[in-house]
Structure 1
């Protein structure tokens, strides 16, 4: 049905290097993602009957029509800032073999949508090899970090988060995505309710062709709350278009906290 409100924006089928601390999951994983155009007036999940990812040699994975959580790693995420949904499933089964992967979306109205992409394993392996070789130097570069207390409670644009990029250390170009949430641990990080994130995929769609490229810092465009613990992580990818991405490196969470009131002296 060409007039169906359920329209795919883009898809991902890519490797994931899951470098989060304190997780029982293996570092080498893969994921599938499908993002939708907004569906004003009705939540997108109410329009979805099924979503299926397929790949070489009969590979098949079903997306769940439920909220995505760190526990289930399969479901939908709502971006309240742009009023749109995406579905994602993370799979702890190693990296993908090269080849063509597709995602099929069937709507409750009977409409069927398909998108496909090719997985480049050489690009994926190259970025991971450079990251793991310089991992300790990269992790030591994050600021703020170490659960330190900030000197003031930042208003929008006042807090800068910074890190070293792979190209600064002799590695390949990469694109960087920053996500910030309240919480003092990876488990408390709330993917469904981010304080702020720089969505380089939307930035690219809006004409910024180099969005996220070799970005070594961001300014958080959100007011932070006093006396609150925060966590952020920086994802490194090889593209800023979802369907061109072959690898996502999820670097370890970094932590800091805000003082009880603006002007409070910092305490380690």
Structure 2
């Protein structure tokens, strides 16, 4: 276990990690030097203790459950992109597309490291690629052999992740890890937008954000099986105020009102969606 590499991965998604661990980088260097002398068997305990101090002396059970929930989703995404990169030729991934997917894969790896480190011994067991079924029990049999299908599933994953993090913000409110969760949330949103950009570049008529699809549905992925991912995204009211035509502005249509706001997704709904891919 290389502590230095883990910290560097975490720094990609939490730029304040050094300040959380110690007010001085010199102290961290001392820790690294000490870590090289610690027995390998003691490393997990030492690392868990370090992150406990960084992210709070104690973690409420509901926060722990939320972080493990997020960690499961990050494992799901990491293995999805990692397998795609390893089998790029089968999906026709190359050039800029392969570079983008590799970058997203690396981001998800850093998210896993951060969440697992923050949880310490309370983290769920490590999830392997074989713990997931990316065909969604046969719904997407060509997910790793067809570029279009791969991107459609990637879009559903990213849009789910964005809404899932938003849905758990109230649970994390008041806890130090909320900042970290929001930092991951914003990166997932950028992933979602870029995947949509890639789909548009391949000829799919789609916007960089969730928009109303046929029949007023918010599922603009073109995949009916993804309906649960977009449930409620066609909402046109906020804070009990109807946004459509507000203040006499006829330019704010139902489609525009729905696109202007992103809705949270309840944990139970996310688990239903993820359940399609978890063995």
Place the TM-score, normalised by the shorter chain, in its bin. under 0.3
More strand by share: 1
| Structure number with higher relative contact order (C-alpha < 8 Å, ≥ 6 residues apart) | 1
TM-score normalised by length of structure 2: 0.26
More helix by share: 2
TM-score normalised by length of structure 1: 0.26
